[in-house]
Amino acid sequence: MKKNLLISIWFTLATTVLLGIIYPLVVTGLAQLMFPKQANGQLIRQGTKLIGSHIIGQPFTAPGYFYSRPSAAGPAGYDPTASGGSNLGPTNKTLIDRVSASVKALQPTNPNAPVPADLVTTSGSGLDPHISPAAAEFQIRRVANERKMSEQEVAGLVQKHIEGRQFGFLGEPRVNVLELNLDLDSAHPMH
């Protein structure tokens, strides 16, 4: 009995040290050596100022910017510590009311086009940094008018930022909203 107890204590200590300390340190060290940008959150900086991350969405509400996908992460949205969807089903009145209000607010900006679903629905994580090319194209007229640019200029920037499917077959084409808005500011700053 005493022997079995000692073995179990030593085994618990050994696995705790191996799997709780050594393994995470090795994996973290290898990630820092092999993929430092990804291991540190793919942060975007302008000089010394932190602007955002390639992989975490953030809100854009000014009319001269492309809007991000709505977020259900945290009370105000886009909270990386509260990542997660709303878990509201398609017949839930709260979801229907929110989506209807979003469609009603967006429709006047491009009255002849249907509002893309990803502009009025949240992603599973609530932190998706991408929108569909259709969602970006839907916003071209509004952004061009606000920035006093031609729609062709804005459409060219959107086309430049469309990312294809990963490895040619995974996922859907997408546009990173932060990168597009930063490029928009570089090409034609707001006055």
Q: Domain coordinates of the chain in residue numbers?
A: 2-36, 41-187
The residues, any chain, with a CB within 8 Å of residue 34's CB and separated by 6 or more, are: none
Read off the pTM: 0.80
Can you give the pLDDT at residue 162?
96
Tallying the residues shown for the chain, one arrives at: 191
The alpha helices in 87-127, defined as continuous H runs, are 93-106
For residue 83, give the nearest of 128, 24, 38 by alpha carbon: 128
Instruction: Tell me the per-residue pLDDT of 33-82, one tens digit each, with 9 for 90 and over.
Output: 999 888 888 888 888 898 888 888 888 888 899 999 988 887 778 888 88
